[in-house]
Structure 1
Amino acid sequence: MVANLIINEFFAQLVIVISMGFIHFLLKKSYISVLFFLLAIIQGCVYRVDRVTVEGQLIGNVQSYLYFSSFEDERLVLFDSVKTTSKGYFQLTLNVENCRFVTIGLDKAKSPIILLIQPGDYIRIQANDSSLSDYRVFGSSGSALVRSLTSSMKKTKQQIDSLRRVYNANLESIEVDSIRHELDSTFRLIIVNHRNYLYDFVKDNPFSPASILALFQSYDSLNPVFDYAKDRKLFRLVDSTLLSVYSSNSMVNAYHSRIQQLDSLYERSVKRDLMYKVGEVLPNVGYPLITGENLFINGIWFRYILVDFQGSWCERCKRNSSYLKEVYKEYAPKGLVVLQVTLGVTPDSLRASVLRDSLMWYNACVPDMYNSRLLDTLRVSSIPSNYIADRWGTIKATNLSGAKLRLKLSELLP
Structure 2
Amino acid sequence: MRNILLLSILISFHSCQNEDYNFEISGVINGGKGKAIFLSSTSENDSVVIDSDDGFLFKGKVKNGNFYNLYFDKTRPILLYVDSGNVIKIQAEIESFDKIYNVEGSDVSSDIKTLQGKLEATYNKIKSIYDENMKNADSTKIDSIKNIITLETNKTVNEHRDFILDFIRKNPSSFAVLPAIYQSFDARTPIFSYLNDYVYFRMVDSALMATNPKSVHTQDFHSQVIQYKRQYDSFISQQTKPVEMQTAPDFKVMSPEGKMISLSSFRGKYVLLDFWASWCGPCRKENPNLVNAYRIFKKKNFTIFQVSLDNNKPDWIAAIDKDKLGEWSHGSDLKYWESEPGKLYNVGSIPSNFLINPDGVIIAQDLRGEDLQNKLKEVLK
- Normalising by structure 2, what TM-score? 0.54
CA positional deviation for 1:269: 2.5
Matches of 1:78 and 1:163 in 2, distance apart? 42
Matches of 2:57 and 2:130 in 1, distance apart? 41
Q: Is the contact made by 2:116 and 2:180 (CA closer than 8 Å) also made in structure 1?
A: no
Matches of 1:272 and 1:175 in 2, distance apart? 41
Which of residues 48, 51, 61 in structure 2 aligns to 1:82? 48
Q: Is the contact made by 2:173 and 2:211 (CA closer than 8 Å) also made in structure 1?
A: yes
Which residues in structure 2 correspond to 1:360-379 (within 5 Å)?
none
Other-structure match for 1:205 = 171
SS in 2 for 1:229: helix
Other-structure match for 2:135 = 169
Structure 1 residues 244-265: Cα deviation after superposition (integer angstroms, max 9, x where no partner): 2211111111111111111112
CA positional deviation for 1:114: 0.9
1:195 aligns with 2:177: no
Matches of 2:147 and 2:62 in 1, distance apart? 52
Matches of 1:231 and 1:181 in 2, distance apart? 26
Other-structure match for 1:258 = 224
Which residues in structure 2 correspond to 1:66-145 (within 5 Å)?
66-70=37-41, 72=42, 79-107=45-73, 109-132=74-97, 133-145=99-111
Q: Is the contact made by 1:58 and 1:130 (CA closer than 8 Å) also made in structure 2?
A: no
Other-structure match for 1:14 = none
Question: Which letter does structure 1 place at the counterpart of 2:102?
Answer: R
CA positional deviation for 1:80: 1.2
1:218 aligns with 2:184: yes
Question: Which letter does structure 1 place at the counterpart of 2:121?
Answer: K
CA positional deviation for 1:196: 0.2
Task: Give unmatched runs, 5+ long, in structure 1.
Answer: 1-46, 275-414
Which has the greater radius of gyration?
1
1:58 aligns with 2:29: yes
Which residues in structure 2 correspond to 1:228-267 (within 5 Å)?
228-267=194-233
Task: Give unmatched runs, 5+ long, in structure 2.
Answer: 1-18, 241-381
Question: Which letter does structure 2 place at the counterpart of 1:87?
Answer: D
CA positional deviation for 1:94: 1.2
CA positional deviation for 1:167: 4.0
SS in 1 for 2:173: coil
CA positional deviation for 1:185: 2.3
Structure 1 residues 93-115: Cα deviation after superposition (integer angstroms, max 9, x where no partner): 110111111111112x3243111
Which residues in structure 2 correspond to 1:233-312 (within 5 Å)?
233-272=199-238
Matches of 2:46 and 2:133 in 1, distance apart? 44
- Normalising by structure 1, what TM-score? 0.50
Structure 1 residues 30-85: Cα deviation after superposition (integer angstroms, max 9, x where no partner): xxxxxxxxxxxxxxxxx98x611000001122211112122x4xxxx552112111
Q: Is the contact made by 1:102 and 1:117 (CA closer than 8 Å) also made in structure 2?
A: yes
Matches of 1:231 and 1:166 in 2, distance apart? 31
Note the aligned Cα RMSD (angstroms).
Answer: 2.1
Structure 1 residues 217-241: Cα deviation after superposition (integer angstroms, max 9, x where no partner): 1121122111212221111111111
